[in-house]
Structure 1
Amino acid sequence: MSLPTDTPHPEQTGPDADPGNMQGGSSARQTGRPRRTMGFAAQELRLISALVVLLSIGLFLALPFVLSIGSVVFLPLVAAIVLTIVLSPLADRLAMFGIPNYLASFAALLAFLGILALALTAVLSPAVSMLDEVPAMIARIGEHFSHLQGSLAWLTRLNEQIAGIVGGQQNDQVVLAGPTVLQQLALATPSVVLEVLLTFLMAFFMIEARVRLRRRLLLERQHFGASLKAARVMRAVQDRVAAYILTVGLINLGVGLIVAFGAWALGLGAPVMWGGLAALLNFLPYIGPLTMIALLTLFGLGTADSPVVGLIPAAAYLGLHTVESNLVTPAILGARFTMNPVLILLALSYFSWIWGVTGALLSVPILLTITALVDHLGRPNLVGFIFGEPLFSTDVLELGEAD
């Protein structure tokens, strides 16, 4: 018995086979093959992304030791780069008036040095003359604390009774005498002078070479898209950091003027010094205002007749800083310069650990530079990457499928 002619055999592959079935099978194989290829590519991309994350974490942990050991080289280099970013717009403005490039670069650097010298002179000169009053202020603070201790005598007696009940052993300790402050300054002065000279020399040559650097980045790229991206990154970094420093500098100048006027109104000595100190310390987020409050508290308690009156300057500055940091600065800077406070504190502690006070001053400009670069080159999605998402918002595989 033969099979019906209208039901072809499923295994039939001869010339009488149904062309529709053959086309369906080939299309299924063609669609299955790209899916497997895209799956392997996704796994490979995720593996590479994981390696990049691990290498970045390792670099983040190892970099402080390298930078701290080689601070004589790396600190002037980073400071010169920040100065170049900040002073390049001023050099460009001067060059627009027909001034030669090297003279414009030198004039921009000289203007910065002049402003810095005036600020330090306004702060250091009265501070040095005020050093003679430090013993009297310490004695006055001791009197305030003795009166406070007398009013809390019952707490002292309770502490002595608890210490007598618990008991304790006194161990003789040997204290090794370390170098004095003058000896430490004498040892650190040559290194500081060398780093300052290297910083300003490198900053001058970098500012003077800015035009050649821009031309090289724009013209020596093989693709127009790469040249355009390099130009945008350079302009974004320069505009963001320079605008931030200029805006914050003007805000801090206003804070300094208000503090100087308030110090004069409250009868504090050297009001210009307090205003300049408030303006300079306000460049350090969180740490600078806290330092200013501590200094005003100590000086107020050391010069006032009562602790309540002595705390008035610190309380007035705290109110001014609250208004400035929560109302004035956010309204002027806007969302463009808004940064996560956790990132600011992390950068502050990270670079302070590496380079001390200089690192703390450079932490916010470095963070702004890194933020501008990340915004243009791609912001990594670290939290989403842990839960299986791509490391970057623009997936390479999706771009391939769109093409």
Structure 2
Amino acid sequence: MKHNYSAALIRTMAVISLFIGLYFTQSLMLPIFIAGFVSLLCAPIVTRLSKIGIPRLINVVVLLMTLLAALSLSAGFLAEPAQQWWSKLPSVMKEMSQQFNHTSAANAGGDDSFMEVIEKANVGEIKANTALSVAKEVVKATPTIVTQLFIALFMAFFMLSYGRTLLRQFLRQLPSFADKRVAIEVVREIQTSLFRYLSTITAVNIGLGVAVGTVLAMLGMEDAFLWGAFAAMMNFAPYLGPMISVACLGLVGFLQFDSLQYALIIMAAYLALNIVESQFVTPTLLGDKFNLNPLVIFVWLVLWGWMWGAMGVLIAVPLLVCVDIFLARTWLFGAWYQVLHNESSCSNTQQTLSPDKSAAEKIC
């Protein structure tokens, strides 16, 4: 019993040390994580194309270039309306100050209130100062972002091209057939589940974005599909993303129509679509296997958001799926991995993922 507690303590300290290391190595590890997700997502496609006679190297290059082109086209499609909204920011600030001044006029004292100071401020000066500060941040961040993007792209290329060779060399070093079997099962399960999860969530979020954009266009909102794309992107972060989306849509609707009632209608329409997606569509498509505990997901999102910011929030849930599969297959912390799941899905998860315990203990 004492040995078990010592082993659990050592593993817990190792996990804490791992998170501390990830916190301080964000700029290095983020492109590696992104490249890993891209390679795991694209590997089944590359394998299938290789089986029909197309060289693997050509498959990898074409697939990565297609992915990069799709991201570039999406960014170009949304850049113009986003820039237009950014140019409206100074007038939006002044309009907000006027609205707040109107509602708080009864409580105004002899001195100028904070909102009155904002209202009296020069709009051009606000725009210049805001644009200057943002430009400085963009100039500072652009080299890092571009560098990380190219590192992730090239690393994904090498992972897809030579990852199988590296895996074979790793398997040859394992001492027994049982260890090799567990290692292959871990890699295969993570690859299959991650591909299914990301492809399903991406398709669902695209559908949600189109639905949100269509409803907003019917309600007469400007740049409706820009906000639909924004809602789709935010939906990759469960719970946190929809809260941000509903707040932003309500604010934009209030500023555009100058009506609290209309803003509430827009928020209600988005919430209705999000409830249908989160409570019916996504659970039906993913099933109980991905039925993770909402509290665990929320804490995990907050943790990775604190560590790595917005990108940490976006990759948090796919990473949690990988961690769940790894713990279930390797039995690293015994049956404790079941705390990640809802109670209704724990029995199904244990039946489908519990490995040969002796083999798992050897590989751990």
2:77 corresponds in structure 1 to: 122
1:136 corresponds in structure 2 to: 91
- 1:265-296 CA deviation, whole Å, 9 max, x = no partner? 11111122122111111111111111111211
What's the offset of the Cα at 1:383? 11
Mapping of residues 388-403 of structure 1, within 5 Å: none
What's the offset of the Cα at 1:299? 0.8
Q: SS at 2:237's partner residue?
A: coil
Conserved? CA contact 1:144–1:307, under 8 Å: no
- Judging changes above 3 Å, is the alpha-carbon distance between structure 1 residues 233 and 393 closer, same or farther for their aligned structure 2 residues? closer
- 1:13-44 CA deviation, whole Å, 9 max, x = no partner? xxxxxxxxxxxxxxxxxxxxxxxxxxxxxxxx
- Judging changes above 3 Å, is the alpha-carbon distance between structure 1 residues 248 and 393 closer, same or farther for their aligned structure 2 residues? closer
Length-normalised TM-score, structure 1: 0.73
Q: SS at 1:269's partner residue?
A: coil
Residue type of the alignment partner of 2:184: A
**Counterpart selection for 1:198 from 139, 151, 154:** 151
Pair 1:104-2:104 in alignment: no
Residue type of the alignment partner of 1:242: F
Q: Where in structure 2 are there 5+ consecutive unaligned residues?
A: 109-131, 339-353
Pair 1:330-2:283 in alignment: yes
Pair 1:79-2:34 in alignment: yes
Conserved? CA contact 1:237–1:369, under 8 Å: yes
2:343 corresponds in structure 1 to: none
Conserved? CA contact 1:119–1:276, under 8 Å: no
2:235 corresponds in structure 1 to: 282
- Judging changes above 3 Å, is the alpha-carbon distance between structure 1 residues 383 and 298 closer, same or farther for their aligned structure 2 residues? closer
Q: Partners of 1:231 and 1:382 in 2: how far apart? A: 22
Mapping of residues 185-224 of structure 1, within 5 Å: 185-217=138-170, 221-224=174-177
Length-normalised TM-score, structure 2: 0.80
2:224 corresponds in structure 1 to: 271
Decide which moves more: 226-235 or 333-342: 226-235
Q: Partners of 1:193 and 1:61 in 2: how far apart? A: 30
- 1:68-109 CA deviation, whole Å, 9 max, x = no partner? 322222221122111111111121122223111111112222
What's the offset of the Cα at 1:220? 5.2
What's the offset of the Cα at 1:381? 4.1
What's the offset of the Cα at 1:395? 8.0
Pair 1:312-2:275 in alignment: no
Conserved? CA contact 1:296–1:313, under 8 Å: yes
2:244 corresponds in structure 1 to: 291
Residue type of the alignment partner of 2:30: L
**Counterpart selection for 1:367 from 316, 320, 343:** 320
Residue type of the alignment partner of 1:380: G
1:256 corresponds in structure 2 to: 209
- Judging changes above 3 Å, is the alpha-carbon distance between structure 1 residues 260 and 127 closer, same or farther for their aligned structure 2 residues? same
**Counterpart selection for 1:380 from 325, 329, 334:** 334
Q: Partners of 1:327 and 1:319 in 2: how far apart? A: 12
2:181 corresponds in structure 1 to: 228
Across the two proteins, how many residue pairs are aligned to each other? 322
- 1:164-183 CA deviation, whole Å, 9 max, x = no partner? xxxxxxxxxxxxxxx93332
What's the offset of the Cα at 1:307? 1.7
Conserved? CA contact 1:217–1:231, under 8 Å: no
Conserved? CA contact 1:144–1:306, under 8 Å: no
Residue type of the alignment partner of 1:134: L
Q: Partners of 1:125 and 1:329 in 2: how far apart? A: 31
Q: SS at 1:209's partner residue?
A: helix
- 1:33-73 CA deviation, whole Å, 9 max, x = no partner? xxxxxxxxxxxxx2232122222332333333322322222
Decide which moves more: 325-334 or 119-128: 119-128
What's the offset of the Cα at 1:219? 5.2
What's the offset of the Cα at 1:301? 1.2
Q: Partners of 1:208 and 1:383 in 2: how far apart? A: 33
What's the offset of the Cα at 1:325? 0.9
Conserved? CA contact 2:60–2:157, under 8 Å: yes
What's the offset of the Cα at 1:303? 0.9
Q: Partners of 1:99 and 1:362 in 2: how far apart? A: 31
- 1:129-148 CA deviation, whole Å, 9 max, x = no partner? 22222233333333433443
Conserved? CA contact 1:352–1:358, under 8 Å: yes
What's the offset of the Cα at 1:218? 5.0
**Counterpart selection for 2:196 from 243, 254, 262:** 243
Conserved? CA contact 1:236–1:372, under 8 Å: yes
1:358 corresponds in structure 2 to: 311
Q: SS at 1:311's partner residue?
A: helix
Percent pairwise identity: 29
2:128 corresponds in structure 1 to: none
